Structure 1
Amino acid sequence: MIDCYENIKDKPNWTSSFVQHDFPQLLEQLQQIVVGKPEVFRLACITMLCGGHLLLEGAPGVGKTLFARTLAQVTAADYRRLQMTPDMLPADVTGSMVFDPNGGELRYSGSPLEAHIVLADELNRASTRTQAALLEAMEEGTISIDGVTRKLPEPFMLIATQNPLSFEGTYRLLEAELDRFLMRLTMEYPDPEMESNMLIQQLAYEGCTRRVRAVLTPDEWLLIRKRIRNQHVDATVCRYIVELVQATRSHAEVGLGVSPRGSAALLRASQTEAFLHGRDYVIPADVQAVAVPVLAHRLQLRGGEDAVERQASVIQELLLSTPVPTFGHKLPRTHASAGGSGSEGGRKARRAAKLLRRPAHAGSSMHEPLPALLRKQRRANDSWLGGLFR
C-alpha cells in the first residue's frame, strides 16, 4: 500500500500525465478488445479509479465478462471469476474452514474474493442468501469466517454482471446489495458498424492471442484513488448533491429514494470526473455528468416498477428541476493554470466565477420535451464550463 505520493512517483506532474496520456491509452486498450460504447468504458473506469464496485447489465454475449477480464489486464491486477449459480452456497464465495488430515487441524480454504478485481458473473442467478455473502466484502473490504475477519487485497473491486429479469432462473438483487454498487451500466448490442468491425478483427487475429498492454499498476491505482479523494469540493456543491438526493425521496413516483451512501457515492464519482478533466475541484457539471449511472439503480419506484429507463428518467427530471448552485468567490485553479494571477488559467477561473452566478436554467421552459431540455442544459454546461476549464 502507498502511504505518500513520493513512494511511487517523484514527478509532481505525474497525475496530470496520467489524465492526458495514460487514461486515454487505458480506454484505447479496452476498446481494442471489447466492442461497446466508449462512454460506458469511461464510466466504468471512473468507478474503478474512485474505489467503487460496478454492476453491468445486458443480454448474454455483449462482452460483459470480456470487459472485466480486459480491465484487469490493463491494470495489471489479480483477477478471479465467480460463476454464480442457484445451488451456490455462501461458503463458496467467502471460503470456509476445512479439516486438514495431514496436520489434524482446521485450515482456511481461501476465498475467490482474494483478488484486486473479482467478477461475479450472472449475479442474479445466485440465491439471495449467497448474494448476501458479498455485502461485507463490498462495504468493508473484508470477509469473516467462523468469527475471524480477513482483509481483502487493496485495491479491491467487484464487477457483477446480471441478465435481464425477464430471463428464466434469475432473482432480484438485494436492495442493500444494489446500494453498494457505485454505478450500474448497461452494455447494449453494438450498432451494425461496430459489429462488422468486430468480425473483421476476429478474422485478422484468427489463431493469434490478442494481448493488451498494462497501463496502470495496482499501486498506481491506489495512488490515484488517494489523489482523487483530495479533490476540493465546495460546500455549495455538497449541498447541491444533498438536494438532488433529497428530491429523490420526495418524488411522487419513488417509493424509496437514494440513501446517504448514494450521496457519498455521487460525491466520489464527481471528484473523479473533475480529476479526469484536469481540475483540483468539483463543479456542478461534474455532478450532473455522473448522476444518472450513480443514482438511478438506487431508486425503488412505486408499484414495484424498476424499469431502467424510468429510473434514469426520474434522475434526469430532478437534474432539470433542482437549482444549480452559484459561487460568489473565486474557484481554485486547474492543474494547467499554475502560473500567476495574470495567467490565462487565472483569467478563465475568474470568468467562470462570474458565469456561475447566472441562473442555470435561464430561458428554459419546462414545457419543452425532456430530451430537448437535457440537450440545452448540456450545451450551457459546455459553453460556460467546458470551454473554460476542460
Structure 2
Amino acid sequence: MSIVRDKNEVWTDLFAEHIWPKLLEQLGTVITGKDDTIRLAGIALLAGGHILLEDVPGVGKTMLAKGLARLVGGGFRRVQMTPDVMPADITGSMIWEPSTGGFRYSEGPLHANVVLVDELNRAPARTQSALLEAMEEGAVTIDGVTRPLPQPFVVIATQNPLSFAGTHHLPEAEMDRFMMRLSLGYPAIEAEAEMLLRQDDAGPLRRLRPLFVPEEWQLIRRRIRSIHLDPALSRYMADIAQQTRQHRAVALGVSPRGTLALMRAAQAHAFVSGRVFVIPNDIKAVAEAVLLHRIMLRPDARVGGATEASVLADVLRQSAVPSFAGREGLPYSVASVAAVQADARTSSAINAADVTSAANATSAANATSAANATSAANATSAANATSAANAASAANATSAANATMTKKNIWFGGFFR
C-alpha cells in the first residue's frame, strides 16, 4: 500500500532533518552548554515571535541575539538603550532637507528584519513605549504617517534583573508582546572551558553564515501557521490560560495574546520536530517560556512562597490533557495526519486504511517519517516505487539537499517556493 503525502509534509521533513539541526549546531558554537535555551530561541525566531533574554551581565545574551540574527540573514540593527535615548532615536524622525526645501523621513534602527535592543530596561518608559506599535503591528507612525517595517520583523531584547542599578520595570503591555522570555544562566565548568578554547582572532560569531534569506524565512512562518491544530488542543490551551486568570495566587493571568503566542510556539515546535500537526507535548515543551512572564502574582502569595513557575506547574497539573485514543481507534498522530490531509489547506488525501496500516508498522510519533520512502518515490519520476522505495528515498533526500544548497551556504535555494 502507498501513502500519498502532501508537499507540506515533505518540506517539514527536509527542514527537520537538515536545516534545523544545522541551525542548532551553528548556535551551539557561539553559546556552549545551553541547548534547551538555544532550541527555544530558534523556535521563537522561526515563528516570528519577539524574544526577551533576561539574565545577569556577561552570560552571552547579546552573543545569542547576534547569532540568531546572522543565521536568518536580512537586515540587522542594534540599539543600545540608555536613560537618555528618545523615541525618535529608534523609530526615526522627519528631518529638514535643504535640497528640496521640505522634510523627509529618516529611518530609525527599527527598519530591519532583526533588531537587537540591548539592555531594554535601562530605557525610560517613554522610549520603551515606542516599541509597542512596532512589535504588535510591524509598523511605526511618524507625524501621522504609518510606515511598515521590513518583514519578517523580530525584536530580540536583553535586560538585566531589576535589582541592578539603572534599570526600569517593563510595562505589562510590552512584556506581553514578547513570545518568549528566556534565561541563559552561568555555564557549567566544562562548557565554560570549551568556550575559552573556541576563542580565536575571528571569534565564533564571525564564522556563522545565513541558512536562509528573509523571503524564505517568511515562507517558513507561513508553513508553521499551517501546522494542524486539533480543536481539542485549542480548548486545552484556552483552559490553561483561563486557569491562570482564576488562580488564587494570580493578580494578572495570561492574556488572549499569550494564548495565541502559545499556539504559534507549539506549531513551531511541531514543525522543527518534523510533524505537520501539534500534539500535547508540543504545548508543554514551550509553555514555561511563553507563559511565565505573563503571570503576575498577588503580593501576599509571593510573600507566602509562591512563584510564577509553581503556579504554572499547578495549572498544567490541573488541566486535563486531551486524549485522542478513542478517535476511530487511532493514536492522535495518525488521526491528525488524516485530518490534515482532509483539510482544505492540503491538496491530497491519505487513505484511512493506509494510515492505519502505516501506524501498525511504525510508532505513532514517526508516522510521517514512515511514509518517507514512498513520498520520495512519488515526488520523483520513479515508476517502480514499491520495489525501489528505500533506494529512491535515500538518493532523493541526498539530491534534494544538494540541489537546494547554494555556494553561499543558503540551504533552501528556492526549494520552499
Question: When the two structures are superposed, what TM-score results if normalisation uses the length of structure 2?
Answer: 0.77
Secondary structure of 2:228's partner? Answer: coil
Secondary structure of 2:337's partner? Answer: coil
Counterpart position of 1:37: 34
Give, in whole Å, the separation in 2 of the partners of 1:249 and 1:101.
56
Call closer, same or farther: CA 1:90–1:350 in 2, change over 3 Å. closer
Call closer, same or farther: CA 1:290–1:208 in 2, change over 3 Å. closer
Establish whether residue 112 from structure 1 lines up as the match of residue 109 from structure 2. Answer: yes
Counterpart position of 1:138: 135
Percent identity over the alignment is 50
Call closer, same or farther: CA 1:300–1:212 in 2, change over 3 Å. same
Letter of the 1:282 counterpart: V
Measured after TM superposition, the shift of residue 91 of structure 1 is 0.7
Call closer, same or farther: CA 1:107–1:304 in 2, change over 3 Å. farther
Secondary structure of 1:171's partner? Answer: coil
Measured after TM superposition, the shift of residue 208 of structure 1 is 6.5
Establish whether residue 303 from structure 1 lines up as the match of residue 307 from structure 2. Answer: no
Counterpart position of 1:287: 283
Give, in whole Å, the separation in 2 of the partners of 1:213 and 1:145.
35
Letter of the 1:344 counterpart: A
Give, in whole Å, the separation in 1 of the partners of 2:202 and 2:321.
54
Letter of the 1:239 counterpart: R
Secondary structure of 2:163's partner? Answer: coil
Counterpart position of 1:3: none
Counterpart position of 1:341: 355
1:309-365, Cα deviation, whole Å (9 max, x unpaired): 921221112111211112232422399x97933543465577999xxxxxxxxxxxx
Contact 2:15–2:274, Cα closer than 8 Å, also in 1: no
Contact 1:123–1:162, Cα closer than 8 Å, also in 2: yes
Contact 1:19–1:277, Cα closer than 8 Å, also in 2: yes
Contact 2:81–2:118, Cα closer than 8 Å, also in 1: yes
Number of corresponding residues:
341
Counterpart position of 1:278: 274
Give, in whole Å, the separation in 2 of the partners of 1:141 and 1:351.
36
Give, in whole Å, the separation in 2 of the partners of 1:110 and 1:344.
55
Counterpart position of 2:100: 103
Call closer, same or farther: CA 1:187–1:104 in 2, change over 3 Å. same
Counterpart position of 1:366: none
Establish whether residue 90 from structure 1 lines up as the match of residue 104 from structure 2. Answer: no
Give, in whole Å, the separation in 2 of the partners of 1:82 and 1:125.
12
Letter of the 1:256 counterpart: L
Establish whether residue 126 from structure 1 lines up as the match of residue 123 from structure 2. Answer: yes
Secondary structure of 1:182's partner? Answer: strand
1:356-383, Cα deviation, whole Å (9 max, x unpaired): xxxxxxxxxxxxxxxxxxxxxxxxxxxx
Give, in whole Å, the separation in 1 of the partners of 2:293 and 2:221.
24
Measured after TM superposition, the shift of residue 211 of structure 1 is 1.2
Establish whether residue 49 from structure 1 lines up as the match of residue 53 from structure 2. Answer: no
Secondary structure of 1:312's partner? Answer: helix
Counterpart position of 1:234: 230
1:277-309, Cα deviation, whole Å (9 max, x unpaired): 211111111111111110000011111888999
Give, in whole Å, the separation in 2 of the partners of 1:45 and 1:309.
30
Call closer, same or farther: CA 1:59–1:309 in 2, change over 3 Å. farther
Higher relative contact order (CA 8 A, sep 6+): 2
Contact 1:333–1:346, Cα closer than 8 Å, also in 2: no
Give, in whole Å, the separation in 2 of the partners of 1:309 and 1:223.
42
Question: When the two structures are superposed, what TM-score results if normalisation uses the length of structure 1?
Answer: 0.82
Name which of structure 1's ranges 260-269 and 339-348 shifts more when overlaid on structure 2: 339-348
Q: Which runs of 4+ in 1 moved over 6 A?
A: 304-309, 349-353
Counterpart position of 1:249: 245
Contact 1:341–1:347, Cα closer than 8 Å, also in 2: no
Letter of the 1:174 counterpart: P
Secondary structure of 2:146's partner? Answer: strand
Give, in whole Å, the separation in 1 of the partners of 2:250 and 2:107.
41
Measured after TM superposition, the shift of residue 13 of structure 1 is 2.5
Correspondence list, 1:182-261, <5 A:
182-202=179-199, 205-206=200-201, 210-261=206-257
Call closer, same or farther: CA 1:181–1:279 in 2, change over 3 Å. same
Give, in whole Å, the separation in 1 of the partners of 2:219 and 2:302.
37
**Quick one: which of 145, 150, 153 aligns to 1:153?**
150
Measured after TM superposition, the shift of residue 264 of structure 1 is 0.6
Letter of the 2:292 counterpart: A
Measured after TM superposition, the shift of residue 80 of structure 1 is 0.3
Give 5+ residue unaligned stretches, structure 2.
Answer: 1-6, 341-348, 368-417
Establish whether residue 81 from structure 1 lines up as the match of residue 78 from structure 2. Answer: yes
Contact 2:95–2:104, Cα closer than 8 Å, also in 1: yes
Letter of the 2:32 counterpart: V
Call closer, same or farther: CA 1:296–1:350 in 2, change over 3 Å. closer
Give, in whole Å, the separation in 2 of the partners of 1:25 and 1:45.
11
Give 5+ residue unaligned stretches, structure 1.
Answer: 1-9, 354-390
Contact 2:12–2:275, Cα closer than 8 Å, also in 1: no
Secondary structure of 1:81's partner? Answer: strand
Contact 2:93–2:105, Cα closer than 8 Å, also in 1: yes
- Pairwise CA RMSD: 2.7
Secondary structure of 1:60's partner? Answer: coil
Give, in whole Å, the separation in 1 of the partners of 2:111 and 2:49.
16
Call closer, same or farther: CA 1:211–1:186 in 2, change over 3 Å. same
Contact 2:230–2:336, Cα closer than 8 Å, also in 1: no
Secondary structure of 1:154's partner? Answer: coil
Counterpart position of 1:72: 69
Contact 2:56–2:161, Cα closer than 8 Å, also in 1: yes
